[in-house]
Amino acid sequence: MTDPGNILMPWGKYRDRQIGSVPSSYLRYVAEQWTEDTPLKKVIVKACDQEWQFREKTGCHFEDDQ
């Protein structure tokens, strides 16, 4: 199974960045606000949620300015 942190963001401010390098606040935004109306969005939303949950559990959140 693919590590969700290795999936590339397909669009937006963090396009072409691995989800694992995207700031925590953006991961949470995607996980909570995006609709899963296409198969690709479903994968991205799930990966962002998994990465955010991992950071929540391990206490390793970060933002752009860090």
In a domain, 66, yes or no: no
- pLDDT confidence of residue 1: 55
Tens of pLDDT, residue by residue over 5-39, are 899 999 889 999 999 999 999 999 999 999 999 99
- pLDDT confidence of residue 21: 94
Tens of pLDDT, residue by residue over 36-51, are 999 999 999 999 999 9
- What's the structural domain count of the chain? 1
- pLDDT confidence of residue 65: 57
Buried b (16+ CB within 10 A) or exposed e, 14-32: beeebbeebbbebbbebbe
In a domain, 65, yes or no: no
Query: Between 30 and 64, where is the model more confident?
Result: 30
Q: What SS3 class is residue 35? A: coil
In a domain, 36, yes or no: yes
In a domain, 64, yes or no: no
Residues of the domain holding 15:
4-58
